[in-house]
Structure 1
Amino acid sequence: MIFEKLRRNRFNQWIIIHLRYLIGFAFFPSGLVKLLGNRFTVLSKDTPIGYFFEAMYQSGFYWNFLGLSQVIAGILLMTQRYALLGTLMFLAILSNIWIITISLSFTGTWVITSLMMIAVVILIIWDHHKLLPLFTYNRSVTVKMYPDPGRSWMVAGMIYTVCFLGLSLPGPIQKGLQQWISVGLGLSVLFTFVLTNYKAYKNRGVLLKNHI
């Protein structure tokens, strides 16, 4: 079966793991801005886009709720273990954003959101076997088991989450301190990336046996 061969391919697994990291991170900057009650854009309210975002901002708690939902979806994707739940949340939120960017004619932004939609669809297809029981009625279904990301990828996801949230966090910080914090968090991301991928490369011969 073609899907089974693709699903068990070690390189494909690596791509999906890091695609989850990338998509999860994409929601952190904009999600934190909304969660903390800040404006997302400084566009004039005389433009359709500026007026739309100002109306969203003035909605109050809904603006915070939208940001919280984005952050939670990103964190779930980063965990790897709960990535499917994060993907479904991401799909629900991103679908609205995607349609908004197209309907309001965002210059260039619709291309980015379209690429993100493609990435989310890929993640859904990757884990679609876990959703099959939802679409059956009065029938027993056997869910095919495939290798899942191991503990090292989950730990890396938590480290990435803390670092990316720290790098995305808006607010007044002393200039020198902010630079040192950013450098420290950036180095932590780099070190984690190198270490986890070196470990995966070193143990590549037993990845499938030990479920990554």
Structure 2
Amino acid sequence: MKIVYTLDQLHLRARENKWLGYFTVFCRVALAAGFIPSGMVKILGERFTALPNIHPMGSYLEALHHTGYYYTFIGVVQVLAAIFLLIPRTATLGAVLYFPVILNICILSLAVRFDGSLISSPLMVLACTYLLCWDYHKFKYIFPFYRNKDTLPPNFTRDNRFPGWFFLGVFVTILAVGFTVTNVFSIMPRNSYNDCTKNCQNSEDPQACINFCDCVHNQGKPLDSCVAAYNKAIKTKRNKR
């Protein structure tokens, strides 16, 4: 099949490039650095964040902290995934372990609009996806359309050309992710009431914004209901114009 041949050739060209090899090592180290501290906090049984319990993310992490050995288990998986990523022979296993954990963190961060990992977690998902693609030759046999049994050649020519377009794409992707996740939401709870109300003066309805911050940080209501009340206030104001 043409798609199989194309994927094989793209993958081989990527594996031949030394700069992409360096980038792969960078991703492995960076991802490991992101999981070891947070994983150790869980293994030691400490609370992961200083966010108040009334905060959407704070209440989730507080509940998670009280799940006993499940909390410890998550920390162990995070640390193991990080260590495996740092060892060349187990790097693939590390990426496999890492991906579902960071994907869950990413979805959680977006769901509760948490500033702390709103940008970093999507980028970490992309970096882990890159690592899985880097080891495509180890996974390709599970795809139903793949029939060939060849793998990477034992010896291939090292390509020293700098892949400018690739790294430009990485840079643009980082900017795109940062811009998207910081502008996709109509309002953000931030990490505290004061942080939340700082930008209310620039809001379409400052009072509705303040009410939203009070709803989240003082009343402790569910984020969805606070967002719904805010959107309703904005819609009502627009209809009165």
Normalising by structure 1, what TM-score? 0.65
**1:93-132 matches, cutoff 5 A:** 93-107=101-115, 109-132=117-140
Q: Which residue of 2 aligns with 1:31?
A: 39
CA contact (8 A) 1:8 1:147 kept: no
CA contact (8 A) 2:11 2:136 kept: no
Quick one: distance in 2 between partners of 1:46 and 1:101? 16
Q: Return the offset for 1:145.
A: 3.8
Cα distance change, pair 12–124 in 1 and its aligned pair in 2 (3 A)? same
SS at match of 2:119: helix
Cα distance change, pair 95–14 in 1 and its aligned pair in 2 (3 A)? same
Q: Which residue of 2 aligns with 1:72?
A: 80
Which deviations, in whole Å up to 9, do the C-alpha atoms of 1:28-75 show, x marking residues without a partner? 000000011110012111111111100000001000000000000000
The answer to whether structure 1 residue 10 and structure 2 residue 18 are counterparts is yes
Q: Can you give the 5+ residue segments of structure 1 that lack an aligned partner in the other structure?
A: 149-212
Q: Return the offset for 1:143.
A: 2.0
Q: Return the offset for 1:146.
A: 6.1
Which deviations, in whole Å up to 9, do the C-alpha atoms of 1:83-131 show, x marking residues without a partner? 1110011101111100000001102521110111111111111111110
Q: Return the offset for 1:4.
A: 1.7
Quick one: distance in 2 between partners of 1:13 and 1:147? 15
The answer to whether structure 1 residue 44 and structure 2 residue 52 are counterparts is yes
RMSD of aligned Cα (Å) = 2.1
Quick one: distance in 2 between partners of 1:136 and 1:96? 27
Moved more, 54-63 or 116-125: 116-125
Cα distance change, pair 44–18 in 1 and its aligned pair in 2 (3 A)? same
Q: Count residues with an aligned counterpart.
A: 148
CA contact (8 A) 1:56 1:63 kept: yes
SS at match of 2:118: helix
Normalising by structure 2, what TM-score? 0.57
CA contact (8 A) 2:140 2:146 kept: no
CA contact (8 A) 2:32 2:81 kept: yes
- Pair member with larger Rg: 2
- Percent identity, aligned pairs only, is 32
CA contact (8 A) 1:17 1:80 kept: no
Q: Which residue of 2 aligns with 1:62?
A: 70
Quick one: distance in 1 between partners of 2:155 and 2:50? 46
The answer to whether structure 1 residue 143 and structure 2 residue 160 are counterparts is no
Q: Return the offset for 1:135.
A: 2.5
